[in-house]
Amino acid sequence: MPTAKSKNVGSGLLTRRVRVGGVEYGYQVFVPNTLAGKTDVPLIVFLHGIGQRGEGGFIPNKGAGAVFVRHFLEPLSAVVVIPQCVRTKYWHDPEMVEMVMQTLERSAAEFSADPKRIYLIGVSMGGYGAWQLAAEYPGKFAAAVPICGGSPRTSGDRWTPLADKIGSTPIWAFHGSDDRVVPPSESRNMVEALRKVEGNRVRYTEIPGVGHNVWLNAAADPELLPWLLAQRAE
């Protein structure tokens, strides 16, 4: 029986734009060759760190950088949505949250994503954003991977309210024990709060002797991608 086709058969690193609240934002989407034209594909939203804020996309589509990106993204076997936070904002700002969700919805429709297999990964500032989005949209993401992130709140109990909202969403958090940019206590406290939430299946990996570039360790973990793509939203 022939496989139904998605609305878009493009592959590689694609550029798209979305208008939110009268402002137009650019974002990128990576479609592996193996998923071009397929339906019910897994979709990963990736939130970058503070150094990649700007406009026009931060991932190169030409040259050696593009070759490296394709080598890294192609094996993910998922459509990867890559929004870009503007220079004056953070991922937890309401307009950025709305922009991310709009890029997600547009990409899910364009590339025929499986609504039960939408995932969230964030690094550093993006790790903070991943915690925030998982809390604001419980049940939307089949799983989230916050890497060297924490709670964007600035006072009081910064972890319990987020954990309560995240609920049973599967989480696998990563942090380096020697991180001097975002203290590992941020992830530790979030994970501790989640472990008190009934039904949550949080996992936590803290890498000894590693600093803020712990995302390299997370990317190299052979269990992470199979674990992520095995999760299904209820």
- Domains of the chain plus CATH, in order, are 12-230 (3.40.50.1820)
Question: How many alpha carbons fall within 13 Å on the CB side of residue 14?
Answer: 20
Mean pLDDT of all residues in 23-28:
94
Do 20 and 98 touch, CB atoms closer than 8 A?
yes
Quote the pLDDT of residue 2: 39
* Strand 79-83 to 113-123 pairing: unpaired
Residue 50's pLDDT is: 94
Question: Of 179, 121, 181, 165, whose CA–CA distance to 147 is shortest?
Answer: 121
- d(CA 176, CA 188) in angstroms, rounded, equals 11
pLDDT in tens, 60-111: 777 766 676 777 787 888 999 999 999 999 999 999 999 999 999 999 999 9
Query: Which pLDDT value is given to residue 157?
Result: 83
pTM of the model: 0.92
Distance CA 202, CA 185 (A): 16
Q: Partners of 149 in the beta sheet?
A: none
Q: Dihedral angle at the C-alpha atoms of 113, 118, 123, 125, nearest 10 degrees?
A: 100
∠ Cα 182 50 89 (to 5°)? 115
Q: Are 204 and 88 in contact (CB under 8 A)?
A: no
Which amino acid appears at position 70 of this protein? R
The gap from C-alpha 28 to its chain's centroid, in whole angstroms, comes to: 13
